[in-house]
Structure formats: structure tokens, C-alpha cells
Structure 1
């Protein structure tokens, strides 16, 4: 197998393109950054060259979210979004928060709902559709968007500052050797490079480690969200209804819950989130989602309908205490790559857009002043003065309370988001901290109750492979696996022996399976099934699995998600 250095020696040097700002990721955060840069240039009568790299086949192809959108940030970015046809079509018409037992349900009275669960003025959306629309707005302003190009490497200047990124090579075979279709990657150099890859971004993770951006911070924490899109009979449609559930099927120590949102056009988007700090290695987030749908309160929304979409994605949930330093010489982190999502509100798109705008304003000022490759200190300073900081500050304890159990979490959420605001207190007077990363929580399989899941019926509940099929996931099969192992002996000798092979359960796409061949257990990695959720990179108990970028254009192609 040729090493990257050998390939460069043989086929290089790589072609290089120069920009003022390069943005990695055409999600809400990256596109908001690009749009705001171009807006500022137009306002000042100047030029700023902006490029956005997107590993999906088009903007929105890899975007997965609930989603209920707070329009505050998009209104700041594009005040005329409604007139311009932004796909925010369905206002929220009602909120329900349900506590489920195995067959029973208790609805929280409206007057007791914490402020974070009130969605008046918000919209039920397809974030993928909104992202595609944002991409069109960016291109209309002159932003260059390169879909199907995965940034695989951070480039550095001699002084240690970020120089830009390189895209991955195309046309490598499974053995790492160039095929007849081989094309060497290209380099994109910039005065500033903005990383907007979403939760657990591959390059963002490496930059946080390289620059020690999380020093002194709480460990980041995540959930895995499993989502489906359904088309339901017209007589069951309740456009704008937002339902959140807690309780069954999870036990009282496992963080998570369900969501079900009625879109326009007789469609329902629904999903289940499990905190990746769960302890029982027998737990399968995918199967918990299937089980959750069988509850009478959820089944009632879906019976007679048809599932038309599926996907999964890690969700960042640490909040303000886990937010790393977001700037470093030559670049910045925005959106969920940094961790701006507000888990208490179950919302991140407004935070992504706002963080992108704040970063763009700092980068534009620097470029106009003739600076480059320094730290954009104005970005975190502006964040600390923003409404987004105030919002995240109020919610800073949310996940930490749930580490003390779901009952304590629900009680303190009520106090911090219902009682204290009524007493005129905008932020809790106390702070809680966490000390352990998600992958450290798994208990040995022998010490954990085994969970038996029912076989799918093919109507309400489904298996993983049929689910991956409707996510339109595809990878070029003859390429090096993008799910890599630091030590190939660990999956069998540690994960299987001690934890009963949890990767075969926490993956929502059937990527990992243990097989016995000639009397020897081995891990098989079906990389072509991967929906790029990043769960394995987060939850692997030995941190032996490392997710790296596959060829650009691979992965899911979500529609309506």
C-alpha cells in the first residue's frame, strides 16, 4: 500500500487554489458563514473570495435533523427569507410533552411546560431542504460550492498556523493502490479556514486535539438520533403538532427520548435519541427506536402510513461547558463542529447559523485589514455578547443534571427553565460539571441485563438493512475502508470478550458484525453501509475506531429529511 507521502511523490504536487476564506461543510453553519461574508463585501463595495467544500453529493444530502427551527438567526441573516421562498412552510401549532410507561402515557399540562419546550413562532422543517435553499442563496451571491469533495487533511504553514485543507484522493482501490481512475486530491489555501463539518467533525476533532482547544473544558457529550420520515393518511395529519416523549422504552438511568413532528403534506418526521453515555452494552439505539414506535401514543400517529425515509446522526449535547476554544491561528470552528447545539431546546440550526454569521464578521474584518493566519479573537468575543451565549448559558447544566438520573434531570429542567424564569432569573445561579467522556461509561456485558428485542413486522418496525436502503446510501466499494482500526486485535480481544461486541448494536446501519470463521471470531466492517453518523468514533469503548473521510460524494443522499 502506498502511503500518502509516496502518492504525492509519485503523482504530486497537488494543484493548489487560493481563496480569502475556505469553508469545510455546506451545512447551515458553513453556508451562513459564506453568505454573511458575501453580504459584508457587498455592503462595503469590496471583494472576498469564498469557497465551500461539501463531501455530500449536494448541499443538504448529508443533513439530518428533527427539525423544529427557531427562525431568529435565519431572519438576521436573510430578513426576506419568506419572500425568497425559504422552505419554512409549517408553523408550529401545538406542543405536547409526554411521559411514557410501557403502555401508559401522562401529558404535561401546558402551563407546566418549561420555556425550552415552548415552540410558539417556530417552524417544523426539513433541514435538508432548508440547507439546499441556503446553498442556492450562497451561489447567487458568488460563493463557489464544490459538492462531492471531501476535505481529508488540514494543511499548516511553517509557523504552525492553518494554511487550508486538502481533498482526498479519488480512485484508490481497497488495497490503497491507485486504480486506472486515480485522481490526486487538490489543496485549497486560505487566509482563514472555517470548519463546519457538523457533530464530531473529522478535521474538527483533529484540530481540537492539535491545538488543545478543549483544555479545561468538560468532555463533550453526544447522543445518537435515529430518524424516520413517514407519509400518513390525511385524516391523521395534524400539521404543526410537535410531540416530545420521555421515559419508556429507556430505563431511568439512560438519557434519551422521542420526537414526532407533523410536517405539511401529510408527512410526519419522527425519531429517537439515546445519549451515548449509556451504560448497558446490550442496548441498541436503533432497536429502541423501533420499540418506541409500538407504544400506543406513537403508533396512533403512524397506523395506515408508509415509511419513506431513514437516517441517523450523532448529536452534540455538551453545551456551554463543553464548548472548546473556537479559534486558532488561521481558522475557526462553527456550528456543531464546535458544539453550539442547545440540547435543552433540542435545537441547533439557529445556533449554527448565528455562529457562522459571527465568525464571518470577524473573518471579513481581518481580511479587509490585510491580516491572515492569526486568531480571529473578535469571533469568540462577539459570541460572548450575543443572544446565543445567553441562551446556552441558561441551559448550561441541562445534560449534567441528567447524569444524576432522569428523575433529577426532569426536576431540575423544570426548576431552571420554568420556575427560575418566573422568578425573574435569566440564568441558574449554580453550575454543574462532568468529568468523563461518553465512551468510558459502558459496563461489562456480564454485569448488564441483556435486552431482547422483537423481530420487525415490516409495517411499523423494520430491520437495519432495509432502513439503510431507503437512506439512499452508496459508496464506491473499491476504495480503502473509511472506518479504520488502530489495532485490529482489539474488537475481538476486548470489545467482544468484555462488552459482547457493542459496535454490532450501537451502529444504526449494520456496518459492524462479528462472524466466526474457521473457529475464529472476527469483526467484519461493511463500510458501504455507513450513513456517516460518527457514533462508532464516539462510543467505541477503547477509542480504537477512527472515522476518516471516504471518497467525496459517498454516503447517504437524504431526501426530505
Structure 2
């Protein structure tokens, strides 16, 4: 069966804040100039917002530029921040610290980013953008000259061995004059593009964090709408970057999360378990007394910042949002940057498309326009905070204060990063971490947590977690690191089991996967490739 093909002027891969902001801006410009412009957005989740997970505290700067009347339009920004707290935790105590300049949230809102994206999708549809949720993009298509021609969605109805089954349907090819890749952090197509066009050449290695989040409904006496709490210290040691947050939303809801930098060294560290024991701290546990957990999820965050940005354009397309690396780590915010990058890309694309008879090849005006924006300056000033934590917690805090308050982010140097997968020590060099057993009241196991993510994968499809060499998982990962994928995965996807010959082998429970991408990033041998499953599969987050 041949693929059906559709032609658009602009195809956007990813229905997150970057992709939707780009689509809205393109249509706004078309309306303002009396021009027809065909734009479509492809989203692998079953609906817009299904795969969106973030803290999240939104700085509305980009939203103000995109849709100044967002309040009148009913945007779901319902909880303005009323209070900031910054705590250092020891094992038994909590110490209030001054709130760092970048983490002050006056004028910001505690939100469900998934719900904001659902609302943005409504605004895009009203402008004539074609939205296609449930369509996972599996392949980049190229012209004969090597430029991007468009993308193709995944084939449906394949058997586990990759052959067409009884209900086989080939994917759809979508051709475009420009294709914008807004896949989010460490997207599978972005990975291909980075290699094909050497986009990361000359940049520092990209580095990442893994965020684990739960949404709780708590008792009224513990609920303080608008309160934002960030913590550092326990349960992590001083050499491991990370921390936790509690955000009090409306309707007695609290979002609690834990982020661990994936440059950690102990292969036994489990970000999931760190969140569970964090909730047991005597200063934290009372928040959840009498409450109930309503949702769970995980995702990787891009943390490299300014010095890790790849080249943003290539013939036929460009990278926007987290796919490019736009996240301000000291602020703990990326949504405003993702949206701004999408809007800037849309402006550059529209200008190129409206030149008389032009079919643009590589739109270099996009990065040039970004460099003139507030996004570039903000990212540049924040560039040295995250890599300073390679020195340890206390030296990093001291340096960050100097960099922020004295140098104002304009130090005449730029610190570097290390690739996350190169940071693990062998099991012989570390001490195993003894995590407490879950109590089923405040702390929980992974499988019951995955259940709350509403994750579903059709079992009769090819596994979307690909091993380049199955034996490497045993000969290197198990032998040297005690199979760290068993610990960093927040969904119990990876298990070491006895094979038919009695020897250990790696079992992949792909049906559990919440699409965090942690395995693709942290695997010490880079032996795991995460690719898209069938369209619509994965988690379905209601309001994360």
C-alpha cells in the first residue's frame, strides 16, 4: 500500500507550547496580510495535552505578546503566585533561605501546562490551523538535494516483528515548504536531524534533568492557593544536582515534583525513589496527610542552556522550543521561551514565504531574530548557573550569588558541560542507596504510579525502545553498572530476568513507558534508542 500524501506550506511536529505558538502566530500574520496560509500541527498524543507534563509556573511574557487578551479568551491561568518559599532540607529539618532572584514569581501563574496547551489548540483551530492529534511522526522526508521535504507518520497495524498485520495502514506523508520541529526534549526526529546536519558541532554537550511529578488533592487546611515552594539538599547528596517543588493550584490541588540532573554518578540512584522519600520529610509530609494522589508522570528536561544550543536551522526546516534547548534552568521555566522561539520562527517563516515566488531553503533570519530578542539575553545571562553545580552544592551556590548579583550574568567566561551518559561510576566505586519501602499512604511503588498516568500501548506492535546490541546491556551495563536502567526508569520498563538458557537478559516492558526519554539520554553505552510508538499511545495526562 502506498502512502497518502498531503501538501502544506508549513508543517509543525509537536502540539506543545512552542508548536502551537508558532501555528497561531503564522495564522495571525496571514490574517493581518490578507494571505491564505496552510498550516498543520501533528501531535503524537491521543489529544493535545495528553503528553504534556511540566511543574508548572508560567511567566506570561510570551503569552502577553501572542494573545494580549488571553484573560478575556478564558485562558486557564487561574492561580496567581502569592508566596515564594525556598528551603534547604537536612534529613530532619527545613531551613528557610532567601529566594534567589531568578526564582521570584511575582506576576506569574501556577498552571497545568496540559490545560494551557488544550486552550492554545482552541485558539489555533479558530484561526484555521489543522490539528492532528494521535499522529506520531516517525520519519523525516528529504528532497533529492538533501533538504527536508516534510515528514511521515508511523505505520499502523504492524506486528511485533515489524511486518504489516491484518489491520495494516501505511503512514501519511506530509510535505511542506518549511517543517518546524517542536518535539520537546530529546525528540527522536531531532536526534536524527542533529546528526544528519551536524547541528551540534561546536556546541557544548546537551545536558538534561529527569522530572518526576505527582498531582494530589489535599485537605483544605493544608491548601494555600498560590504558594510556591522549592527545596534543595536532602534527600540528595551535595554532589548531585536536583531539588523538589510544591505548587498549590486551585481546587485543593498540589503539584509535587522532584528533578534530578542526569549527570549524577551513582548508578543506583532512582529519581522516582528520591521523590517518594522526599515526601516523607517531616516538613513535607503534613501537606499530604489525608490527601489522595490523582495523577503521576515523568519527563526529561533540557538543561544545557545557551552554550549547548545547536544550529537552529537547516535546509527545509528549523528547531523550536525544547527541541532546540530553550529552558532557563535558574528560573526553572521554559514555557515562555518555547513560545517565544515558536513565535519568532513563525515570523521568519512568514516573511520568507511571502517573498515573491520564493520557496525558502534555509531561513537563517530565525536565529538572527532570536538573537535580538529578550529570550537570547535571558538565556545568555543564565548560562553559568547550571554548570557551576559540577563543583558541588555549596561552591555552586556561592558562585551563583556572585554571577547573579555582582556580575549580572555577564561574566567574561562560559562554563562547560559534561555529557550525562559519561558521568556514571561503576558499581564497585559507589555505595548502593537504601530506599525505604513505600507505605502506600504518602509514598508508592512504580507500577501503581504508572497506572495513574493512564498509559496505554497496544501490545501487538513493534517495541518502541530499540537496543542497538542486546548483549551490551548484559556485558557492560549489568556487569559494570548493575543495569542502571532499572533504577533511572520511572516506570519499571527495564528488568533483568533469566533467559531460556538461564543467563541474565534485559526484558523491556514497553507497555509501561511514560515517554520520559530518560533511557535514551542516560544509558551509559548509548545503546537504547527511543522511537515513537503507534500514534496516540503512551500516557494520557488529564491536567499535568
TM-score (norm 2): 0.98
On the 8 A contact 1:166/1:186 being kept in 2, the answer is: yes
Please tell me whether residue 331 in structure 1 is matched to residue 317 in structure 2: yes
Inter-partner Cα distance in structure 2 for 1:324 and 1:296: 43
Q: Which residue of 2 aligns with 1:520?
A: 503
Inter-partner Cα distance in structure 2 for 1:415 and 1:371: 49
Runs of at least 5 residues in structure 1 that lack an aligned partner in the other structure: 1-10
Inter-partner Cα distance in structure 1 for 2:86 and 2:415: 27
Inter-partner Cα distance in structure 2 for 1:239 and 1:298: 16
Aligned partner of residue 95 in structure 2, secondary structure: strand
Aligned partner of residue 460 in structure 2, secondary structure: coil
After superposition, what is the alpha-carbon deviation per residue over 1:133-159, rounded to whole angstroms, capped at 9, x for unaligned?
Answer: 001110110000111001100011111
On the 8 A contact 1:396/1:431 being kept in 2, the answer is: no
Q: Which residue of 2 aligns with 1:130?
A: 116
Inter-partner Cα distance in structure 1 for 2:360 and 2:159: 36
Of 53, 64, 72, the match for 2:42 = 53
Q: Which residue of 1 aligns with 2:469?
A: 487
Of 87, 91, 100, the match for 1:114 = 100
Please tell me whether residue 556 in structure 1 is matched to residue 543 in structure 2: no
On the 8 A contact 1:92/1:121 being kept in 2, the answer is: yes
Q: Which residue of 2 aligns with 1:6?
A: none
After superposition, what is the alpha-carbon deviation per residue over 1:154-193, rounded to whole angstroms, capped at 9, x for unaligned?
Answer: 0111111110000110000112121111000110000000
Inter-partner Cα distance in structure 2 for 1:75 and 1:58: 25
Instruction: State the aligned residue count.
Output: 542
Of 474, 478, 482, the match for 1:496 = 478
After superposition, what is the alpha-carbon deviation per residue over 1:22-52, rounded to whole angstroms, capped at 9, x for unaligned?
Answer: 0000000000000000000000011110010
Please tell me whether residue 540 in structure 1 is matched to residue 523 in structure 2: yes
User: What is the root-mean-square deviation in Å for CA atoms of aligned residues?
Assistant: 0.9
Aligned partner of residue 403 in structure 1, secondary structure: helix
On the 8 A contact 1:218/1:433 being kept in 2, the answer is: no
Inter-partner Cα distance in structure 1 for 2:123 and 2:399: 41
The aligned runs of 1:24-39 (5 Å cut-off) are 24-39=13-28
On the 8 A contact 2:206/2:417 being kept in 1, the answer is: no
Aligned partner of residue 190 in structure 1, secondary structure: strand
Inter-partner Cα distance in structure 1 for 2:270 and 2:97: 28
Aligned partner of residue 487 in structure 1, secondary structure: coil
After superposition, what is the alpha-carbon deviation per residue over 1:103-150, rounded to whole angstroms, capped at 9, x for unaligned?
Answer: 1111013xxx32101000000000000001001110110000111001
- Residue 431 of structure 1 deviates from its aligned partner by 2.5
Q: Which residue of 1 aligns with 2:278?
A: 292
Please tell me whether residue 347 in structure 1 is matched to residue 333 in structure 2: yes
- Residue 428 of structure 1 deviates from its aligned partner by 2.5
Q: Which residue of 1 aligns with 2:78?
A: 89
On the 8 A contact 1:99/1:105 being kept in 2, the answer is: yes
Aligned partner of residue 180 in structure 2, secondary structure: strand
After superposition, what is the alpha-carbon deviation per residue over 1:432-451, rounded to whole angstroms, capped at 9, x for unaligned?
Answer: 33253100000000111111
- Residue 519 of structure 1 deviates from its aligned partner by 2.3
Runs of at least 5 residues in structure 2 that lack an aligned partner in the other structure: none
Please tell me whether residue 467 in structure 1 is matched to residue 449 in structure 2: yes
Inter-partner Cα distance in structure 1 for 2:358 and 2:55: 39
Aligned partner of residue 58 in structure 1, secondary structure: coil
Of 31, 34, 40, the match for 1:42 = 31
Inter-partner Cα distance in structure 1 for 2:136 and 2:359: 24
Aligned partner of residue 51 in structure 1, secondary structure: strand
Inter-partner Cα distance in structure 2 for 1:413 and 1:240: 27
Q: Which residue of 2 aligns with 1:8?
A: none
Aligned partner of residue 456 in structure 2, secondary structure: coil
Inter-partner Cα distance in structure 1 for 2:229 and 2:486: 30
- Residue 379 of structure 1 deviates from its aligned partner by 0.8
Of 388, 401, 422, the match for 1:414 = 401
